[in-house]
Amino acid sequence: MEPIVQISLDLTTIEEALDMAAIAVEAGIDWIEAGTPLLLGEGLHAVAALRKAFPDHPIVADLKTMDGGYLEAEMMAKAGATHVVVMGVAHPATIRAVVRAARDYGIQVMGDIMAAPDPVACARMLERNGVDYILVHTSFDERGEDPARSPYDHLEAVVKAVSIPVQAVGGLSVEQAAEMPKLGAPLVVVGAPLVIDRQEFRPSKDRDELKRILEQLVAKVKNHAAT
C-alpha cells in the first residue's frame, strides 16, 4: 500500500485536539487519531467533533479495547471513526467481536501487539482473527523506564510474519518515522515526541514550528515512496 501519515492527538480536550488536527491537516497528513488520553477526557464527543470538522479524513479511535469489543467498536463507528484499535493481549473472543462490529459498520480494525510476551505470535493471531492492520507498539511507560526500547525491537520479525499492513508506534524521531515505509511499515504515525511539551499532554506552543515539522515528515514519507 502507499504510505500514509497519521497524527496521534494524545491530548485531553476537544479544543486542543481540533487545533492540533487543523495544523496537521494543513501540513498534509492523511489520517487523524483520537488518542487514548483524548478518548478518556472527552469520549465519543471527541470523535464526533473530529468527524464534523474533518469530514473527509479517516479517524482512528485508539480505544485499546480489552473487553466489550463489539459495543466499543460500534459506538466509535457511530460517532464517526473509520478505524478502531484492539489489544492483541485481549482474549481472542474480544478481538473477533471487534472485527465483527467493524464488518457490520464498514470500518477497519488495528491490532496492537503492545505488551505481548511473543510479539510475532501475537501479530499472527491478530491476522488470523481478521484485523486489518498490525501496530508494533512500544509503550510510553516502557520507554520511560528503558529508553533503549523501541519498535525496532520487533518490527522486522513482525513484518516478515504477517501479510497485512504494519504500523510502528512509540518514540520514533521524524527521521525514523520517515524511514518506516522502507522497513515494511507504510502507516507512519507521529505523536507525543513532536506535539507534546515535555512530559505534559498538551499541544506544542509553536504552531509554525509544528506545521513545518509535519510538512517535512509528509514530504519525506511521500518522496521516499516515489523513489
Residue 198 sits in which domain range?
4-226
How far lies 59's CA from each of 50, 52, 163, 187, in Å? 8, 11, 23, 14
Instruction: Write the pLDDT tens digit of every residue in 136-154.
Output: 999 989 999 999 999 999 9
pLDDT at 152: 95
The enclosing domain of 72 has a CATH number of 3.20.20.70
pLDDT at 213: 86
Pairing of strands 83-87, 166-169: unpaired
Residue 182 pLDDT grade (very low, low, confident, very high; cuts 50, 70, 90)? very high
pLDDT at 67: 98
Among the listed residues 227, 143, 114, 131, the one whose alpha carbon sits nearest the alpha carbon of residue 178:
227
As a whole number of angstroms, the distance between CA 222 and CA 227 comes to 9
55 Cβ contact list (under 8 Å, min separation 6): none
Number of domains in the chain: 1
pLDDT at 193: 45
* pLDDT of 221 above 80: yes
pLDDT at 199: 47
Of residues 60 and 195, more confidence is placed in 60
pLDDT at 145: 96
Instruction: Write the pLDDT tens digit of every residue in 19-61.
Output: 999 999 999 999 999 999 999 999 999 999 999 999 999 999 9
Residue 124 pLDDT grade (very low, low, confident, very high; cuts 50, 70, 90)? very high
As a whole number of angstroms, the distance between CA 66 and CA 64 comes to 6
pLDDT at 175: 85
Instruction: Write the pLDDT tens digit of every residue in 64-122.
Output: 999 999 999 999 999 999 999 999 999 999 999 999 999 999 999 999 999 999 999 99
Contact 224, 199 (CB under 8 A): no
pLDDT at 204: 59
Contact 130, 96 (CB under 8 A): yes
